[in-house]
Amino acid sequence: MFAAAALAAVALVGAVACSGDDDGGPEPRADLISPALEAVAAARDGAPELLEVSATLEHVDVIVRDTEGTGVLYRYDDDGLTGPVEPRDDLRESFTPADVTIDPERVFVGIRSELDRATIIDLAVRREGGVVVIDATVASEAGGIILVLLGPEGAILGTQAV
């Protein structure tokens, strides 16, 4: 069952990759991260305790601490902010909007330089082991998927097969 789902996901990624533009295809909406964080801060009357910020091809999801041990999801896209969604258990480490130092113009430069024909599926920011981590999920034309650890300006710091 899992193999079939993975194969379907790779086929979908392949279809998206074929519809891309001349500069490597569509990319996750890193350009929406800053406005998403500002909108969430306004909705919560102050800087939120972030649990995760993730960008897809269409939107940015921001998961914030609601109460100790729970988080709520906000979604931001070209139409604005929606949420919060019902609280869920979430014990991850938190971080602040000031910790999100991504340069949306450069964050994918390293990936495009090294893997120019790959499809970047998503971008995520979270805290692990006391360190803010930026990673992107990337699919190759052959169907392999890797997780790429990135610096804020796009330097590739490491990779891991998924």
Nearest C-alpha neighbor of 112 from the set 148, 70, 66, 60:
148
Would you state the pLDDT for residue 8?
33
pLDDT of residue 50: 98
pLDDT digits (tens, 9 = 90+) for 36-73: 999 999 999 999 999 999 999 999 999 999 988 999 99
Distance CA 39, CA 68 (A): 22
122 — pLDDT class (breaks 50, 70, 90)? very high
Calculate the average pLDDT of the chain.
86
**Is the backbone of residue 87 left (phi > 0), alpha (psi -120 to 50) or beta?**
beta
What pLDDT does 113 receive? 92
pLDDT in the model for residue 73: 98
Residue 158 burial (CB count, 10 A) = 9
Query: What is the spatial distance between Cα 2 and Cα 64, in angstroms, rounded to a whole number?
Result: 30
Neighbours of 131 (CB within 10 A): 10
Q: Report the candidate in 57, 21, 39 with the shortest Cα–Cα distance to residue 97.
A: 39
Residue owning tokens 């379907």: 8
- Residue-wise pLDDT for 2-15, tens only, equals 233 333 333 333 33
| 96 has a pLDDT exceeding 90 | yes
